[in-house]
């Protein structure tokens, strides 16, 4: 079954791998990216089944404009995959200068998916088989170390996913929170404790998302934890 999907953060990393796999699977895609030029020359930019649209996750008006443009191009929209996100090393005893950074992390990682889901929700309801897949992270399930801003944003995002699931369930909308640990992306470039090849790869997550999109609504998992490390 082919779907019409909005995918945020599709210009690189996990979002791009998911978009490339979804295109290969035959889906119609609307890709929200901060800089559309980043996709120039790729199959994602040249396919007739793809719309590339500017999107700023910290701006609710941007979410509304993207959804409106997507509906105008494809009419029916039946899925959204939230991949846009930013990292922060701000800790519990953050400096005053980090206040704006913390605010930005919450805006992008929490409010971005919230605004975008709200904007697309009527289309998901109309589809009768709407799907919401959100890249949450293992940092939304447990905290290891001194970081605060990033895991707080992801814990809140997981809570938002639970509410999406509760509200969407009787409407045929199924929600999955995808929770990977270390993934070989630019965000993990500074990690010294585990080599890139031993991390989960973006393409691995793309395969999982591909499978999620094929499942009947009666079989869609809510939370999918993926970790390259053994944790107690």
Q: Which domains does the chain have, with CATH numbers?
A: 4-226 (3.40.50.720)
Q: Which residues partner with 147 through β-bridges?
A: 91
Instruction: Write down the pLDDT at residue 190.
Output: 83
Instruction: Write down the pLDDT at residue 192.
Output: 85
Token representation of residue 140: 């939304």
**CA distances, 171 to each of 2, 37, 75, 125, 223 (Å):** 20, 37, 19, 6, 19
> Per residue, what are the HEC states of 4-58?
EEEEECCCCHHHHHHHHHHHHCCCEEEEEECCHHHHCCCHHHHCCCEEEEECCCC
Number of neighbouring beta carbons within 10 Å of residue 192: 5
Q: In b/e form, how buried is each residue of 61-71, taking b as 16+ CB within 10 angstroms?
A: ebbebbbebbb
Tell me the Ramachandran region of residue 143: left when phi exceeds 0, alpha when psi lies from -120 to 50, beta otherwise. beta
Instruction: Write down the pLDDT at residue 232.
Output: 67
| pTM for this entry | 0.97
Residue 81, SS3 per DSSP: strand
Instruction: Write down the pLDDT at residue 179.
Output: 98
Residue 32's pLDDT band (cuts 50, 70, 90): very high
The residues annotated as belonging to the active site are: 150
The rounded distance, in Å, linking the Cα atoms of 13 and 21 is 13
Instruction: Write down the pLDDT at residue 189.
Output: 86
pLDDT digits 0-9 by tens, 147-172: 999 999 999 999 999 999 999 999 99
pLDDT digits 0-9 by tens, 96-119: 999 999 999 999 999 999 999 999
Residue 213's pLDDT band (cuts 50, 70, 90): very high
Report the percentage of the chain scoring pLDDT > 70.
100
């Amino acid at each position: 079954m082919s779907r019409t999907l909005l995918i945020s953060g599709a210009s690189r990393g996990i979002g791009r791998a998911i978009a490339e796999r979804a295109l290969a699977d035959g889906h119609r895609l609307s890709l929200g990216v901060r800089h559309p030029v980043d996709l120039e020359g790729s199959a994602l930019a040249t396919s007739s089944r793809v719309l590339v649209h500017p999107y700023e996750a910290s701006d609710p008006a941007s979410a509304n404009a993207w959804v409106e443009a997507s509906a105008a191009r494809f009419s029916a929209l039946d899925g959204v995959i939230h991949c846009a996100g930013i990292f922060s090393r701000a800790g519990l005893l953050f400096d005053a200068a980090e206040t704006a950074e913390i605010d930005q992390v919450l805006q992008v990682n929490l409010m971005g998916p919230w605004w975008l889901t709200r904007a697309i929700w009527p289309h998901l309801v109309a589809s009768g088989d709407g799907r919401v897949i959100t890249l949450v992270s293992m940092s939304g399930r447990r905290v290891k170390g001194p970081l605060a801003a990033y895991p707080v944003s992801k814990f809140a995002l997981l809570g938002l996913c639970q509410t999406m699931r509760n509200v969407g369930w009787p409407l045929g909308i199924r929600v999955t929170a995808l929770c990977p640990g270390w993934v070989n992306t630019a965000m993990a470039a500074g990690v010294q404790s585990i080599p890139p090849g031993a991390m989960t790869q973006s393409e691995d997550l793309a395969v999982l998302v591909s499978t999620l999109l094929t499942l009947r609504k009666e079989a869609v998992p809510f939370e999918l934890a993926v970790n390259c490390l053994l944790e107690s």
